[in-house]
């Protein structure tokens, strides 16, 4: 019999489920392998009988945690789908800020009605996770690979090396080198607004040296930098990254500001360790 698959959404934009819905012909191929019994963006039916659960979104309240624990009890396999579920993602930007100020800024007069945790968490902070599909949004081919692997009883092959490896394979000019190698990058800097703080000046640095690969370095391929949406690589070479920052006149404080975009929850975990 085909494994039964269910998709569930928590605090997130549902863009990862949209990536799955937009698989088009590939989705039809997957339906030869699995039976989808829960997928709010695609079908109206619902079922509590499923083998594999895909979870999108971070966990941000007691209600979220209770619902997630119920899903975990039902599922033989649970997969964190996308950055918010896998690493805390965009929702974790608020983790380093005053929670009451965040609520006031977002909800105004209704702030006190919101029952949410002070910090948004990744799914594995609440329940055990069997597999992860990283990215914001996820890569469609990687999703297909994971589903096919699970159906075949194989371990999905998710890269553990940094994005820099893919950049080299794609023959990209290093983002740092592209912006000059004399340490003077001030001409390329710009003021940006970090939520909950004053404007800060950020240079054109890249998080590729410490970010998990698997995206085919697509952001750098298109002329921008790596923003870190796939999370920290398992064993980031932090000393090497610091040398790059020193070479191009960038500070640890500047890179931490950029880490906050996706790495908020992971930074909390590293502090606890």
Comparing CA positions, the residue from 18, 21, 6, 24 lying closest to residue 79 is 6
In the structure encoding, which two tokens stand for residue 271, read together? Answer: 């502090």
Phi, psi values for residue 140, rounded to 5°: -65, -40
Give the C-alpha separation, 65 to 127, whole Å. Answer: 8
The pTM (predicted TM-score) of the whole model is: 0.84
Q: Which residues of the chain have pLDDT under 70?
A: 176-204, 236-242, 244-245, 248-256, 267-273
Q: Which H or E run contains 163?
A: helix 163-169
Comparing CA positions, the residue from 229, 178, 191 lying closest to residue 208 is 229
In the structure encoding, which two tokens stand for residue 263, read together? Answer: 């790495």
Beta bridge partners, 53, equal: 6, 78
Q: Rounded to whole angstroms, what are the CA distances from 152 to 34, 56, 131, 147?
A: 11, 23, 15, 9
Q: Rounded to whole angstroms, what are the CA distances from 150 to 78, 85, 90, 147, 153?
A: 11, 19, 28, 5, 5
Per-residue pLDDT tens for 10-57? 999 999 999 999 998 899 999 999 999 999 999 998 999 999 999 999
Residues 6+ apart with CB under 8 A from 9: 17, 40, 56, 57
Give the C-alpha separation, 133 to 63, whole Å. Answer: 24
Q: Which domains does the chain have, with CATH numbers?
A: 4-151 (3.40.50.700), 163-272 (no CATH)
- If DSSP codes are grouped into helix, strand and coil, which group holds residue 193? strand
Task: Please provide the DSSP assignment of 13-82 as one string.
Answer: --HHHHHHHTTTHHHHHHTTT-EEEE-TTT-S---S--SEEEEESBB-SHHHHHHHHHHHHH-SEEEEES
């Amino acid at each position: 019999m085909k494994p039964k698959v269910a998709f569930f959404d928590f605090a997130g934009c549902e863009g990862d489920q949209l990536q799955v819905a937009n698989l088009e012909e590939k989705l039809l191929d997957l339906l030869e392998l699995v039976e989808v019994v829960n997928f709010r963006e695609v079908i109206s039916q619902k079922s509590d009988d499923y083998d594999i659960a895909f979870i999108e979104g971070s966990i941000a309240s007691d209600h979220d945690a209770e619902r997630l624990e119920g899903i975990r009890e039902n599922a033989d396999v649970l997969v964190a789908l996308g950055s918010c579920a896998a690493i805390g993602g965009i929702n974790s930007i608020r983790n380093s800020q005053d929670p009451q100020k965040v609520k006031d800024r977002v909800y105004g007069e209704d702030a006190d009605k919101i029952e949410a945790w002070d910090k948004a968490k990744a799914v594995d902070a609440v329940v055990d996770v069997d597999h992860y599909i990283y990215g914001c949004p996820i890569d469609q081919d990687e999703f297909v690979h994971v589903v096919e692997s699970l159906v075949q009883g194989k371990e999905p092959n998710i890269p553990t090396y940094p994005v820099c490896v893919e950049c080299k394979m794609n023959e990209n000019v290093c983002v740092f080198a592209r912006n000059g190698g004399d340490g003077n990058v001030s001409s390329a800097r710009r003021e940006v607004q970090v939520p909950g703080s004053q404007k800060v000046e950020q240079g054109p640095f890249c998080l590729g040296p410490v970010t998990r690969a698997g995206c085919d370095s697509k952001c750098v391929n298109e002329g921008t930098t790596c923003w870190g949406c796939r999370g920290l690589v398992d064993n980031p070479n932090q000393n090497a990254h610091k040398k790059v920052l020193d070479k191009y006149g960038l500070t640890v404080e500047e890179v931490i500001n950029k880490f906050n975009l996706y790495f908020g929850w992971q930074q909390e975990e590293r502090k606890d360790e």
